[in-house]
Amino acid sequence: MPLHLIVDGYNVIRQDLQLQAMDARDLEAGRAALLEALAAYRRLHPAHKVTVIFDGWQGGELQESRDRYQGLAIVYSRRGERADEVIKRLLNRERQRAVVVSSDKELQIFARKVGAAWMAAARFAQQHLGRTKDYLEEDDEVSSPGAGKKGPARRLPKQERRRLQRLKKL
């Protein structure tokens, strides 16, 4: 089953040190660098659908705008609407096929609620975009619930095992 990768664009840019430096100099340069890295990822995984959502709620157009770039679908939220709302709509539609890339806890909780998988932005940038990372996100690593105990309680919950299995397909 091909996955639908839903990327919170500005969240990934702000979580990656190299993209963050480009973004600080020029907003367009940060976006272009992210799109170029995601296009390279898409060439390696042509079966996966990749959608990048950027915030347009403060200075965007009155209507949601869409664009394409080297096989990527790009969505700019309309003025007054946050990218999170667009991502939630996509997650609600895609459900188990979706993998959301964002470090936003609200989106991770919503993804879990609808049965979608999620991956932290910094970890995705490190593992799949060839970026370096100088720190670990504290909630990124999953510890076994029964550390120090013996028996089946050491096994991760079924929902978490399914999420990790989908992430291996990336």
Say which residue, 145 or 105, is predicted with more confidence. 105
In the structure encoding, which two tokens stand for residue 64, read together? 């949601």
- The CA angle 47-52-53, to the nearest 5 degrees, is 150
> Helices 17-25 and 27-44: crossing angle, nearest 10°?
140
- Looking at the predicted structure, is the pLDDT value of residue 68 above 70? yes
- The domain in which residue 133 lies consists of 4-168
How many domains is the chain built from? 1
The residue behind tokens 């890295």 is 37
Q: How confident is the model at residue 156 (pLDDT cuts 50, 70, 90)?
A: confident
Lowest-pLDDT choice from 22-36, 54-68, 69-83: 54-68
Look at residue 1 in the predicted model and tell me its pLDDT.
67
Look at residue 61 in the predicted model and tell me its pLDDT.
64
Taking the C-alpha atoms of residue 28 and residue 140, their distance in angstroms, rounded to an integer, is 29
- Looking at the predicted structure, is the pLDDT value of residue 97 above 50? yes
Long-range contacts of 80-89, Cβ-Cβ distance < 8 Å, separation of 24 or more: 81/56, 81/57, 82/55, 82/57, 83/8, 83/9, 83/10, 83/53, 83/54, 83/55, 83/56, 83/57, 84/8, 86/53, 87/6, 87/8, 87/53
Report which DSSP code applies to 46: T
